[in-house]
Structure 1
Amino acid sequence: MNWLDWLNTFFTDPAHRSGPDSILNRVLEHLAFSAEALALAVLLAVPLGLLIGYTGRGLFLVTALTGVARALPTLGLVTLAVLLAGVGDTAVLLPLTALAAPPLLVAAAEGVRGTDPDVRDAARGIGLTHPQTLFQVCVPSALPTLLAGARTAAVQVIATATVAAYVGLGGLGRYVIDGLATRDFPTTVGGALLVVLLAVAVQLLFALLIRSASPRAARTVHTDEPAGSPALSKDSI
């Protein structure tokens, strides 16, 4: 039996059309794990990244630490989380959040750091406070970079969320783990394909978001003054 026959067997199986083992239910479970982990990573990493990017302090250390964090084995973190917190959502959310945080942290810091210094100085010159300059000037400019980091984090999390099945939870990993355990290759191949399709769909979604946000990052302040003399008004911000 080739892989096309396996896929046909998987998608035509009545058990995969309704009930707890249905494709729709497993996809929703997978998205729930992934979205929760991504949301936690955003709450933890993005504010810190914005602060580091704006102040310029600790950027080298953050880059080095995120490189180390990306090398951590997710399955090993899941096993450790199970030993410490027991079987449950925490055992999956902690490793997935740790996986998603580094690209978000670096993207936030680099995006803000890449804001035109002249624009930042002009914003400060018209009386904007540091928080106002950060959120009204730097964050809009950094938005495409932030979304690119979120895209990387989201794709990594979706691809790795299959480990939820390793500790007895749901998601598309159930097809892969259970299929391998029972040598049910149609289920294994079908589950793996669904993970790939879901990751590709998220990738395309973020590509559209980045494209729509890019013009905002490309905006510059145009005045009648000579080049090299940027002007900024509170109304333009």
Structure 2
Amino acid sequence: EAVPPSWHVACKAVDKLKHWVSGYIWRETHWLWLQDSLLAGRVVQTTWGTAEEWLRFGVHDAYADAPLEGTPPLYTFNERLGMRWEVLVSLLKELHQRRGAWEQLLVVEVGVFAGHLSQFLLRDCPFVRLLGVDPYIGADGTFPGNFSQTLDADVALYKAASVMEPYGDRADLWTMTSEKAAAQLEDGIVDAIFIDGCHLYECVKSDFELWMPKMRRGHEVLVAGHDFSPQWPGVVRAVHERRAGGHEVNLATDWMWWWFEQRP
């Protein structure tokens, strides 16, 4: 027996409602945690659970002391919902439209791993030229989750290279550290950057120092990243310090953070 059209409409409505409810719960939980952290003057473990509970997700830095000093950024929880690749694709399309929708955007992805995010960017944003940067060390504990123990770095590299190969000169993968890659790239040519490599405070702070001079001048650029969460206090601290003084920081589901910036 054929399913009536009204059934499909109802199913779509239910899915949309579930998506909205999940986003609402995430936003409220995340926002309460952030307010708790700002009031405490450091990253705390409250609404999302204890540091011990993060162990089930593998590698983390939740025990690190991460002070949040000075006048905080202007934090805003954005209405965009979805996984990080969905949010980032949306942001890049917005940037492309703001630029007049005619020029190619050079996007740097710091921390490629197996190329999952890269695949969405290259497939859904034909105006993007992607430069992926990842040393594929693995054994240093910076792979996500438990992959430093369970996945050979060469396997992750092979998967990422396989993702990028079909896109020809639209995609490059530099198997080196962030520091070495930044040294090889001229200043003022990057339109957007996604920081998702080593999540320790010193690493994220260094990535800001290395890559911000590479951002295109005279244009609006996108600075974004992943894991603004109690699991990785170093990310929170580095972003907080970078935008201290009331500068805007957008937050969204899947631990996304970003801002648009007009470079002089």
TM > 0.5: no
Larger Rg: 1
More strand by share: 2
TM-score by length of 2: 0.20
Q: Counting helix residues as a fraction of each chain, which structure ranks higher?
A: 1
Query: How does the TM-score come out when normalised to structure 1?
Result: 0.22
